[in-house]
Chains A and B, each alone.
Chain A
Amino acid sequence: MSNWIRYNNLVKTFQKLKQNPELWQRYWVRERVIDAIREYFKGQGFHEAEVPLLLPAPSTEPFLEVFETELKDDQGNKWQGFLPSSPEFALKKLLSAGSGSVFTITKSFRNGEGRSSRHNPEFTILEWYRTPGNYMDVATDFEGLMRFILTFKESPRRSNHLPTRRLPTRRLLEGGSQLTYQDKKYDLSSPWEKISVAEAFAKYASVDTETMLNGSLLIAHGKRKGYQVTETTTWEEIWNQIMANEIEPKLGQNGPTILYDYPIAQAALARPAKDPRFAERFEIFMAGLELGNCFSELTDWKEQEARCKADLALRQAQGKLAFPMDNDFIDALKLGMPPTGGIAVGVDRLVALFADTPDIADTLFFPVGEMFA
């Protein structure tokens, strides 16, 4: 196996492109998808904001490992610096300051993860925030965006530049809705399938809501089904294992599926739903890929501060790299963040989908596995 990897690394993507010019077509899909995203959101009245890639404090993700660096000036002063794991805090500061609906297409970074066909340590992320709005407004945005990309990608290019603003946008919006991925057809027309987490556990895993939310009941249920259970097995592990083995394979088979209202323990930055045991969060699944993760954003600064502190404590308990809390984020929320629905979408997966390739590395000119062999 290691031989195979080393050998493939001998031929770099730029060399393959020279040898086999038809490949360019697949790689330029990325450019078209990103053009389409910009065109779509600007047509919807969103602003595009740039966010920093060098931060004194990254988002307080309790489990992700981050990249650390150091900022120096000419006087010998030094500051600890980090690469962002998401643009979320930066955009929420702008929303609290009154930006209105906003999006960004930027790079984010995650360290310490295994190499896979769905992750690159440096990745391109799209986040958009609709305000005023909630998670279901964002679902409607996603439906429109996916069909827009599909039609935009197929439409003829006029030149090497962005299509003009007078492109027949309405026709694009009403355009085709059939996406073919890995020889299977997916229907992107509205409405997309929506199923709550509670319904999905009942329908696909025969787990009722009481059992699903209860630690010992769910672990006992998992054990009866043949999942390995030891003294240290947690509710979260069995919950995710049932999700991965019994539910996710059933989602997004013929078109996107919106899986919504997660147990509150699975949604740190989301607003509670009507049933307070759940939070207003959804994920979108299609063709075995998780395409996006959306919340009705938590806007209460006290609650947010408490959760950030708890997350940092959890990092410390796990021995993860320690970093300071982003107090500016809390200060921004004190200005009053409007009701907002927000989502993070892995652009690399979106590109792989529209380029019809199973491995995101097939759409990157410089995949990490080639550079860091």
Chain B
Amino acid sequence: MSTMRANQLKTGMFVLYKDQPCAVVKCEFYFPGKGSAFARTKMKNVKTGNVYEYTFKSADMVETVDIDTVELQYLYGDLPAGKAGGDTLYFMNPRTFDQFEVPVSIFEGKEKYLLAEMKMFFNFYEGIAIGVRFPLKVTVKVTEAQEASAGNTVNAPKKPVIIETGVEVLAPLFVKEGEMIIVDTETGEYVSRA
């Protein structure tokens, strides 16, 4: 454990706030106009999920929390197709073959883009998975798509298609069943053909 000044805080860091390990989910610096800088933060308790808002002076000392980061590969989970939900997902360390249980909640809805054997980095605190760096883009197969009729393409119209994880994505009219497309997991939007 080490300390740093609040002016070095960044989103994604892990700090100790009121003796609780917290992820910094938002951090913005501002000057109230007369002098010193402040860091307006939103922190999430990684054990309880409680969210705190606190404004630090930029000179305040903040304790950081030691987090282990490890890359794991998705094995299986009981996710209802195309929906968020379920409780536990199973991942494996591809080097040691150790298996890990990961609570679905840390995916914050992105579990609906999970594909078999997908690899990603997890943060562990005292042996418990508390955060995941989900791939920003996933390449997925289109399993259902209506044939689009030619017509107005000026306003870039979209149609709903179903991807292999069961999720509906709005894609351009030219996307066909069986094609691979890239989807932005942050926004759920179609990016391009793969």
Contact of B59 among A21, A232, A268 (CB under 8 A): A232
Q: When the two chains form their complex, are residues B29 and A18 in contact, meaning their CB atoms are under 8 A apart?
A: no
* Bound CA–CA A27/B31 (angstroms): 28
Q: A10–B105 Cα gap in the complex (Å)? A: 29
Contacts A244-B55, A249-B53 known; A63 to B29 CB distance under 8 Å? no
A113 adjacent to chain B (CB < 8 Å) = yes
CB <8 Å contact, A244 and B59: no
Q: Does B149 contact A (CB under 8 A)?
A: no
Complex contact B136–A237 (CB within 8 A): no
- Chain A residue nearest to B37 (CB atoms) is A114
Instruction: Report if B28 contacts A (CB, 8 A).
Output: yes
Q: Is B155 an interface residue (CB 8 A)?
A: yes
| Selected interface stretch from A1-9, A39-47, A174-182 | A1-9
Which residues of chain A have C-beta atoms less than 8 A from B54's C-beta?
245
* Interface residues as binary, A260-283 with B (CB distance below 8 Å gives 1, 0 otherwise): 000001101000000000000000
Instruction: With CB as the reference atom, state the residue of chain A lying closest to B157.
Output: A21
Among B12, B35, B36, contact of A1 (Cβ-Cβ < 8 Å) = B12
**CB <8 Å contact, A236 and B36:** yes
Residues of chain B contacted by A119 (CB below 8 angstroms): 30
Interface of B is mostly: loop
Closest to B53 in A: A249
* Cβ B28 vs Cβ A266 within 8 A: no
**A155 → B minimal CB distance (Å):** 25
In angstroms, Cα B29 to Cα A113, docked, is 8
B12 partner residues in chain A, CB cutoff 8 A:
1
CB atoms of A240 and B136 under 8 A apart: no
A-facing mask of B61-90, CB < 8 A → 1, else 0? Answer: 100000000000000000000000000000
* Chain A CB within 8 A of B117 CB: no
Taking CB atoms, residues of chain B closer than 8 Å to A20 are 156, 158, 189
Interchain CB contact (< 8 A) of B29 among A116, A236, A241, A266:
A116
How many angstroms between the C-alpha atoms of A236 and B34 in the bound complex? 8
Whether A237 contacts B53 in the complex (CB less than 8 A), given A1-B10, A21-B155, A228-B60, comes out as no
- Asked whether any CB of chain A lies closer than 8 Å to the CB of B33, the reply is yes
Residues of A within 8 A of B11 (CB): 1
Q: Give chain B residues whose Cβ lies under 8 Å from the Cβ of A116.
A: 28-30
Is there contact, CB below 8 Å, between B57 and A241? yes
Asked whether A21 lies within 8 Å of B156 as measured between CB atoms, the reply is yes
A362 shortest CB reach to chain B, Å: 12
Minimum CB–CB distance from B93 to chain A (whole Å) comes to 22
Cβ-neighbour of A114 out of B29, B32, B156 (below 8 A): B29
Chain A residues in contact with chain B, CB under 8 A?
Answer: 1, 3-4, 7-8, 11, 18-21, 62-64, 113-114, 116-119, 227-228, 230, 232-234, 236-237, 240-241, 243-245, 249, 265-266, 268, 293
16 contacts between A and B (CB under 8 A): A1-B10, A7-B136, A20-B156, A113-B31, A114-B30, A116-B28, A116-B29, A230-B59, A236-B35, A237-B35, A237-B57, A240-B32, A241-B38, A241-B55, A243-B32, A244-B40
Q: A8-B186, A237-B36, A241-B57 are in contact. List 16 more A-B contacts (CB 8 A).
A: A7-B136, A7-B137, A18-B156, A19-B156, A20-B189, A63-B33, A113-B29, A113-B30, A114-B30, A118-B30, A119-B30, A232-B59, A237-B59, A240-B34, A265-B34, A266-B34
Nearest first, the 9 closest Cβ-Cβ pairs linking A and B are A244-B55, A114-B29, A116-B28, A228-B60, A240-B32, A1-B12, A21-B155, A7-B136, A237-B57
